[in-house]
Every structure is written in C-alpha cells, then in structure tokens.
Amino acid sequence: MSTRLFRQHHIRRSQSLDGTWDFYFPQEGTALDPFKLEAAESVRMEVPGCWECLPDRVDYRGEAVAVKRVHVGSACRLRLVFKGIGHTARVFVDGELIAEHHNAFTAFEAVTDFLVAGEHEIRIWVSNAFGELSALHVPNDYYSYGGITRPVEMQMMPLDFWLGELAVTTEQGKDGKWLLTVAGTLGGKFPHRNQLNLSVQLQVADKDLVVAVKRGAFRGQMTFEGIEPWGPESPKLYDLTATLFQGSEAVDDRIERIGFRQVRCSRGKLLLNGEPVFLMGVNRHEDHPDYGCAIPVALMRKDLELCLQMGCNAVRTSHYPNDERFLDLCDELGIMVWEENHARGLFPGSGVEGLVEHPMQHPRFREQCEAVNREMLEQHGNHPSILMWGILNECDSFSDFGRKCYAEQFEQIRKLDPSRPVTYASCHQHSDICQDLPDICGWNLYSNWYGDDDVAEALEHLLKSIEEPLRTRPLILSEFGGGALPGYHDPIRRAKWSEERQADILAECLEVYLNHPKVVGVFIWQFCDVRVDPSWAMRRPRTMNNKGVVDEHRRPKLAFETVKQLFTQRSTRVTE
Ligand code: ADA
C-alpha cells in the first residue's frame, strides 16, 4: 500500500520494503566495491530517504551501497519495484546484478529468477555523482539528492508472467456517452507465449468485459452512460480492476484509479470535457529541509492544502515526474497537473566541465530522455489530473540540433499518448525556433525581477514575437515571480528580496496575466523555497531559490495572501 494511496492488488502478493536499511559509504578518497564493505562506514537509514538528512552527509555527493535482507515464504520470482532512486542504481539480489537504472524521478523494476523459500539479500549500489552517469542530473537550480528516495515494493510472483502496465484513455462521444479504452501488456519472462490460454477481465463501475491476451498484449473498449466526469469541481474517481485469468483461474490482478475526462486544445483555448478552463497554479519542487526530496505523504497533502487555500487549481511538476502519491492526491483533490520530464536549462555552455560543452550532446542524453519520457507516460498516464506533458524546460530550443531533440521527443510522446496536449517552457525570446512543435506555448517571463520592465508591455512584446504559433495555440505563463528572503521587510516596498517586493511583483504580473484573452494558465515560480546546488550560491542567497510564496518550512510569505486574493477572484471556468 505504501507506494500508492489506494490498494493496487488483491491477488498479487506484495510487501513494502520501506523502513530501515543498512547503508555503506566509502572512506574518503576510496572507491566502493559493493561486495567488499569491511572498510566502509555503515549507517542505518530510513527508506524512503535522502542521505543529505544524515547529519554527517548533508552535502555528500558520491556513491553508497544499501543492503536489506528479506524473507521469502515460498518459491517465487521477486519483482522489486523501486519508485525512485537518486540517481543511478544497480540492483543485486543474492550477489547477481539484475537491473540498472538512471534518473531519480521514475520507477523501475528488478526481477529475479525463481528463488527458494528463505532469506535473500538485496544490495543496491547508488550514486548521485554528476558527470558521466547522468545527462539529466547536473548542478542545478534545485538539489539532486542521493539515496532510495521513493518507496520500494517487493512482489512475490509465482508464475513467469503477470499483468504489466495498463494504458487507459477516455473520450466523450457526441451522444454524451463515454468510451473507455484499455490497452495492456503482460510483464515477466515469457509474456509472448500464446499457448497459455490467457484472458483479462476488465471491471469498471457496474460493467465488465473479458478480452483475450494475444502475443502478450490485450485491448478492450467499453461504453458508459451516466458517468460522472473528472474535473476540478468534482474529481470523481472510478476503480478499474484488471484480472488475469489462465483458463478459469484468476492468477494476477491490478487496480488502477481512473477518471473520465477529455483534454483538447481548440481555437487557442484549453478544453477540459469540452469546456474552456483556466489554470491557476504554482511550480513545485519536491524539497524540504528535513526530508530532501523524499517528501512524506502528510507533507504532500499539506502542500496541496496550502495550494488550495491560495486558490490554486493547478500544479506544474517542475522539472521532473513527481512521486505517484502526490499525483494520487491531485487526482483526489481535482488539481490539474502539467507533468514534466526531467531536464532544466540544458544549453551550450551549461555542460559538465571537462566532459561535454553542450549538455544535450552528453553521450547519455538521448537514451536517458527516451527512458524518462517512456517511463513517465507508462507509469503516470492513468492519472486524470495530468492534463499535459511538458519537456525540456528552458533547454536549447534555438539551434537546429536542439530543434531535432524537441521534435524527436514530442514525436515519441505523441505516439505513446495521443490523448494529451504537449508543451514546453521556453525563455529564449527572439531566438526560439520550436514554437510550432507543441500544442501549447509555455513561457517563463520574469518581468520586474531579472529586469525592470512593464509587465503588460513585456507580455505584448512576447505575444508579438510568437504571433504565428499563437494563432492556433493557447499560451501558458509557465513561470514568473521574484525572490523574497523570509522575514526581510521593506516599508517602502521597493527592495528586491523583501517580502513586499515579491508580493507586488506577483500582483503586477497576475493582474495582467489573469485577464489576458490569450492566456489560458499561469504557474507562479514557485511554491516553496528550495535548496540549490552550491555552484549557484552567488546568485542564490542562503544557497536556496527564494522565490517561494511559502518558505522551505511552508510558512507563508506576504505574497501568499496577495496571490490568494487574486486567484480566488478569478474562476476556473472561462466565460467567452
Ligand atoms: C527558470 C527555471 C527555474 C528557475 C527560475 C529562476 O526559469 O526554469 O528552474 O531557475 O528560472 O528562479 O530563475
């Protein structure tokens, strides 16, 4: 249960491996051999957790080994599901390497051969070092934490095959009826064997359907009347239960929580269930001084409650796929989500010193982006709250090479999920050459913070520079705002870094953006103050990005009330 906020299996046996693990760190200046740990420093540490939360590891960047012994009751394969390891992991079971994964923000599985009943050992080599291993984790304006930072689940699989990912889409017909399409695959070692006589029963609301499994895949469609659609005012969720049968025996199952809803862009508007909507949101990093990026559910809920109090109806998961439990909460609370792949500010000159000048030419960039996009869509595609996929925040969208990368990634995403619009946040005014590629134009515009410009004029200037793509596309202001050091006040409200100036900048921006006919959404930068990489310190007092409307402990700054007033005056629905 710990990996999601609802039960996903009644048949499949599954156990949480959250809790205390043994971690081993190398002696300074030495490398770590995962199987020779005698000289290593050992610590007991909680999973999920970041090692930066250990008093002696607050800024540790490097490798570690995590060990856990587990008891297996009867012979089976183990399917280990890691929801997030920061950022590169190699998984060994009983000494054998069974999986390797890059990127902290998507889940992956590690499957063993059949194991006998008894004690077994899971050993994970994990590294958050910058450089060769990761093209996407770079010293950045947020912190790349280390450790097993999201939940871990151990599933006991008695067979060679099981239900894999399910992809659900919902569409409303002209007659008002809803069409549900479920496409699924089998996971496991021999999912393509045809002679197994496999079928899948799909159950939603009061309907069910049985479909055959052919070559390891299945597909079913069901029509519904009288469905309550998912939307911000009424986030109705339904359980979809898929049961795998071998002959007449139910051998595996999977429950997904879905919503009936349809997203589309038409004539410059963003439509949810056919009605134009206006997004009022914040950008949010997974970050807290006490937990790093391993945010407990109670704190996720608090963050969202604060967002709702502020009048928000949307969140952008800048700049990576978020913890599924956070997305579960968004589904439940009716918060509309821009979910984003993992990349921020990758353009020539921001590369890793001595390795690559242009980070998008890092030898692993293409392969790692492909994997993050695929995993993000497969793993999060059934969340009704996610309305759009974003990619490559403020990356190279101004060179021919960069354009190829954007085009290739949009193509991959659209192929996997044609049901949602795609977008990206740009800041390269006048040099961006990719605005014709997404369905929604996203712009980060820091009026009155990095420059002193008139907000309305700056927006008009931007609109002019992307006039052609905006003829058919809506515009979202994906970032704007200013920094405020918590508790620093300026009675004449002019000093940058004061809470007053931040509140005024946000008010000046929102007064223009919330009422502009071209704009269909706004995302304030940012929800809370976050830790940044030390290399950013000279631009970031406290080595933090201080543009939060609440501070790192979620204590509201002056801007919170200002935003609340402006957001609550504006309604989600757009009247034309
Ligand atoms: C960018 C970027 C954010 C953050 C912000 C800022 O637009 O997308 O990650 O760095 O600027 O605070 O300047």
Q: Which residues of 158-183 are buried (b: 16+ CB within 10 A; e: fewer)?
A: eeebbbbbbbbbbebeeeeebebebe
More reliable by pLDDT, 192 or 369? 369
Q: What's phi and psi for 406, nearest 5 deg?
A: -60, -45
Q: How far is the CA of 572 from the centre of ligand 1 (A)?
A: 26
Tokens 């499994």, residue located: 213
Average pLDDT score, the chain: 96
On whether the CB atoms of residues 286 and 303 are closer than 8 A, the answer is no
Q: How far is the CA of 143 from the centre of ligand 1 (A)?
A: 13
pTM of this prediction?
0.97
Of the ranges 349-353, 382-386, 409-413, 516-520, which one carries the lowest mean pLDDT score? 349-353
* Residue 479 host element (H or E): strand 475-479
Tokens 């403020």, residue located: 394
Question: Which residue in 392, 384, 463 sits closest to 422, CA to CA?
Answer: 392
CB neighbours of residue 428 within 10 Å = 18
C-beta 525 within 6 A of ligand 1 = yes
C-beta 23 within 6 A of ligand 1 = no
Question: Which residue in 519, 518, 504, 520 sits closest to 566, CA to CA?
Answer: 504
Tokens 């409307």, residue located: 549
Hey, what are 429's tokens?
């005014």
* Residue 120 host element (H or E): strand 118-127
Tokens 């809790």, residue located: 19
Residue among 338, 497, 525, 549 whose CB has most ligand 1 atoms within 8 A, to mutate:
525
Q: How far is the CA of 105 from the centre of ligand 1 (A)?
A: 19
For residue 483, give the ligand 1 atom closest to its CA.
12
Q: How far is the CA of 442 from the centre of ligand 1 (A)?
A: 13
**pLDDT by residue (tens digit) across 85-120?**
999 999 999 999 999 999 999 999 999 999 999 999
For residue 319, give the ligand 1 atom closest to its CA.
9
Kind of pairing, strands 519-524 and 475-479?
parallel
Integer angstrom CA distances of residue 320 from 271, 347, 435: 24, 17, 21
C-beta 128 within 6 A of ligand 1 = no
Q: How far is the CA of 396 from the centre of ligand 1 (A)?
A: 15
Q: What's phi and psi for 361, nearest 5 deg?
A: -105, 10
On whether the CB atoms of residues 549 and 560 are closer than 8 A, the answer is yes
The protein residue whose alpha carbon is closest to atom 10 in ligand 1 is: 141
Query: How much is the pLDDT for 2?
Result: 73
Sign, CA dihedral 33-34-35-36, equals: positive
Integer angstrom CA distances of residue 80 from 15, 152, 296, 335, 433: 10, 7, 21, 30, 43
Query: How much is the pLDDT for 350?
Result: 72
Assign 175 to helix, strand or coil.
coil
- The sheet carrying 269-272 orders its strands as 263-266, 269-272, 275-276
Query: Mean per-residue pLDDT for 406-425?
Result: 98
User: From CA 530, how far away is CA 527, in angstroms rounded?
Assistant: 9
Integer angstrom CA distances of residue 52 from 55, 65, 152, 357: 7, 15, 19, 29
Q: How far is the CA of 141 from the centre of ligand 1 (A)?
A: 7
With a cut of 60, say whether residue 122 has pLDDT above it.
yes
Query: Mean per-residue pLDDT for 319-333?
Result: 98
Q: How far is the CA of 488 from the centre of ligand 1 (A)?
A: 22
With a cut of 90, say whether residue 418 has pLDDT above it.
yes
Residue among 136, 479, 497 whose CB has most ligand 1 atoms within 8 A, to mutate:
479
Query: Mean per-residue pLDDT for 485-490?
Result: 98
Query: How much is the pLDDT for 192?
Result: 62
For residue 545, give the ligand 1 atom closest to its CA.
12
C-beta 141 within 6 A of ligand 1 = yes
Query: Mean per-residue pLDDT for 48-58?
Result: 97
Paired with 256 in beta bridges are 240
The protein residue whose alpha carbon is closest to atom 3 in ligand 1 is: 141
User: From CA 435, how far away is CA 440, in angstroms rounded?
Assistant: 9
The residues, any chain, with a CB within 8 Å of residue 407's CB and separated by 6 or more, are 434, 437
Query: How much is the pLDDT for 353?
Result: 67
Q: How far is the CA of 279 from the centre of ligand 1 (A)?
A: 20
For residue 526, give the ligand 1 atom closest to its CA.
12
Query: How much is the pLDDT for 193?
Result: 65
With a cut of 80, say whether residue 553 has pLDDT above it.
yes
Q: Which residues of 250-261 are buried (b: 16+ CB within 10 A; e: fewer)?
A: ebbbbbbbbbbb
Work out the angle between the directed axes of helices 365-380 and 400-416 (0-180°, nearest 10): 30
**pLDDT by residue (tens digit) across 297-311?**
999 999 999 999 999
Residue among 545, 546, 547, 549 whose CB has most ligand 1 atoms within 8 A, to mutate:
545
Kind of pairing, strands 76-82 and 152-157?
antiparallel
Query: How much is the pLDDT for 196?
Result: 80
Q: How far is the CA of 264 from the centre of ligand 1 (A)?
A: 28
With a cut of 80, say whether residue 457 has pLDDT above it.
yes
Hey, what are 493's tokens?
């409200």
Burial class (CB in 10 A: 0-12, 13-18, 19+), 147: buried
Q: How far is the CA of 129 from the centre of ligand 1 (A)?
A: 22
Confidence of residue 330 (pLDDT cuts 50, 70, 90): very high
Q: How far is the CA of 346 from the centre of ligand 1 (A)?
A: 12
Q: What is the largest CA-CA distance in the chain?
A: 78
C-beta 262 within 6 A of ligand 1 = no
Radius of gyration of the chain (CA): 24
Assign 265 to helix, strand or coil.
strand
C-beta 427 within 6 A of ligand 1 = yes
C-beta 545 within 6 A of ligand 1 = yes
User: From CA 296, how far away is CA 275, in angstroms rounded?
Assistant: 35
Q: How far is the CA of 120 from the centre of ligand 1 (A)?
A: 45
User: From CA 557, how far away is CA 563, in angstroms rounded?
Assistant: 11
**pLDDT by residue (tens digit) across 191-228?**
566 668 999 999 999 999 999 999 899 999 999 999 99
Paired with 202 in beta bridges are 209, 242
Paired with 140 in beta bridges are none
C-beta 393 within 6 A of ligand 1 = yes
Integer angstrom CA distances of residue 403 from 325, 368, 456, 466, 471: 34, 18, 29, 16, 21
C-beta 536 within 6 A of ligand 1 = no
Paired with 68 in beta bridges are 122
Query: How much is the pLDDT for 230?
Result: 98
How far is CA 572 from its chain centroid?
A: 23
Query: How much is the pLDDT for 576?
Result: 53
Query: How much is the pLDDT for 543?
Result: 98
The protein residue whose alpha carbon is closest to atom 7 in ligand 1 is: 444
C-beta 546 within 6 A of ligand 1 = no
Hey, what are 504's tokens?
């005024």
Report H helices in 514-573. Answer: 558-569
C-beta 529 within 6 A of ligand 1 = no
With a cut of 60, say whether residue 514 has pLDDT above it.
yes
Q: How far is the CA of 429 from the centre of ligand 1 (A)?
A: 15
